[in-house]
Amino acid sequence: MTNLKLAVIYYSSTGTNYQLAQWAEAGGKEAGAEVKLLKVPETAPQEAIESNPAWKAHYEATKDVPEVTLDDLEWADAIIFSVPTRFGNMPSQMKAFLDTTGGLWFNGKLVNKTVSAMTSAQNPHGGQESTLLALYTTMYHWGAIVAAPGYTDPVTFAAGGNPYGTSVSVNQDGEMVEDVQAAVIHQAKRTLSIAEKLK
Ligand SMILES: Cc1cc2nc3c(=O)[nH]c(=O)nc-3n(C[C@H](O)[C@H](O)[C@H](O)COP(=O)(O)O)c2cc1C
């Protein structure tokens, strides 16, 4: 997969989705792809970030992670998204970024991008699937090819069995409950393998 370009695009307030994105980045590199790890711009008011010590600490710690641009979308053959669940939906930060892609969409620049997504939530039934499906709705409008993991490898079962994309629950202390690292790496490699076939 030497000629493949993978963009891992995430939003995270308290670090979970940053970790998922880093595992996807590692999986992509293992597969031989050129990988960019990119965050979407924070849009929350500074006082909201300041009022939550975990959010503030993560915000400060990831200041140097590059912010995604529209050029990155055009550059990528494959894109993996990672976002926390917000009321069973994607966070507004990711939606705000997706809503800037109208020009690329209009010019057909997003057609046939191979995509998949990951998420986290406090509760196993707190909207993990609906968040992924909400994100995929936009992907269908792009004309992208959704390469969800399905049950293509036993690691999906060990990670909680979400076929739409790897998802993880976080406890009250913000720690991941299920061990999903292998599932994330499998998802990254599978997304790239579909991108390779398309390319
Ligand atoms: C505004 C808001 C809405 C949330 N909605 C849900 C939800 O619908 N279901 C759920 O299980 N967890 C919900 N959570 C918990 C987050 O999903 C959890 O904190 C997140 O997955 C952690 O990811 P991060 O560390 O990458 O920010 C919500 C959190 C916030 C702040």
| Count of CA atoms in the C-beta half-sphere (13 A) of 4 | 29
pLDDT at res. 173 = 93
- Residues 179, 143: Cα–Cα separation, whole Å: 32
Closest ligand 1 atom to the C-alpha of 13?
27
Q: Which of 14, 85, 94 maximizes ligand 1 atoms within 8 Å of its Cβ, making it the mutation to test the pocket?
A: 85
- The CA–CA distances, whole Å, from 67 to 47, 74, 90 equal 21, 15, 18
The answer to whether 10 touches 20, Cβ cutoff 8 Å, is: yes
CATH number of 5-198: 3.40.50.360
Q: Where are the domains positioned within the chain?
A: 5-198
The answer to whether 180 touches 166, Cβ cutoff 8 Å, is: yes
Q: Residue 1 — pLDDT band, cuts 50, 70, 90?
A: low
Residue 125 CA to ligand 1 center (angstroms) comes to 12
Whether 17 lines ligand 1, by a CB cut-off of 6 Å, is: yes
DSSP-based three-state secondary structure for 28: helix
Q: Which of 19, 52, 56, 87 maximizes ligand 1 atoms within 8 Å of its Cβ, making it the mutation to test the pocket?
A: 87
Length of the chain counted residue by residue: 199
DSSP-based three-state secondary structure for 187: helix
- Atom 16 (ligand 1) nearest CA: 121
pLDDT at res. 2 = 66
Tell me the H-state helices in the chain: 16-30, 46-50, 53-61, 70-75, 92-98, 102-106, 128-142, 155-158, 181-198
- Atom 30 (ligand 1) nearest CA: 86
pLDDT, tens digit (0-9, with 9 covering 90-100), for 113-132: 999 999 999 999 999 999 99
pLDDT, tens digit (0-9, with 9 covering 90-100), for 131-167: 999 999 999 999 999 999 999 999 999 999 999 999 9
Whether 15 lines ligand 1, by a CB cut-off of 6 Å, is: yes
